[in-house]
């Protein structure tokens, strides 16, 4: 059975910098081995792109452009970038996470019944997480 995980921008930035903690790295390893799928909400991808553009993310390949990073993530066969759905919106309004982007990411996770790969305490207070 394939497992699903939802990655936030923190997890993606740590992945790019080869700095994921072991439990989070395990989820990505499972996905690379075909045993899991990493779901990336569009908002997490947007946050990642914005932080790269602002120079807030130290990447192992400092010459990579934002477009290259996004293209590489989208082309990985174990990563699925997702949009909000009707089910996601239903969950969005039920959550009590104050930060908009975090609530959106958590709503995707709840709608898919998947843990979030994150160290974010606000998300972890309301949905299962891995870090």
pLDDT digits (tens, 9 = 90+) for 6-21: 999 999 999 988 899 9
Q: In Å, how far are 27, 40, 64, 130 from 2, measured between CA atoms? A: 11, 16, 31, 17
| pLDDT given for residue 111 in this prediction | 97
Residue 65: the pLDDT is 78
Phi and psi for 59 in degrees, rounded to 5?
A: -100, 150
Q: What domains, with CATH codes, occur in the chain?
A: 3-130 (3.40.50.1010)
pTM, two decimal places: 0.92
């Amino acid at each position: 059975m394939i497992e699903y995980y939802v990655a936030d921008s923190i997890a993606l930035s740590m992945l790019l910098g080869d700095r994921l903690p072991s439990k989070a790295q395990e989820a990505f390893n499972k996905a690379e081995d075909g045993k899991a799928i990493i779901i990336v909400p569009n908002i997490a991808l947007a946050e990642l792109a914005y932080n790269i553009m602002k120079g807030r993310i130290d990447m192992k390949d400092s010459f990579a452009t934002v477009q290259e990073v996004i293209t590489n993530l989208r082309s990985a066969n174990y990563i699925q970038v997702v949009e909000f759905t009707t089910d996601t919106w239903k969950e969005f309004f039920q959550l009590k996470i104050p930060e908009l982007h975090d609530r959106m990411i958590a709503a995707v996770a709840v709608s898919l019944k998947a843990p979030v790969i994150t160290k974010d305490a606000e998300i972890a207070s309301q949905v299962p997480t891995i870090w």
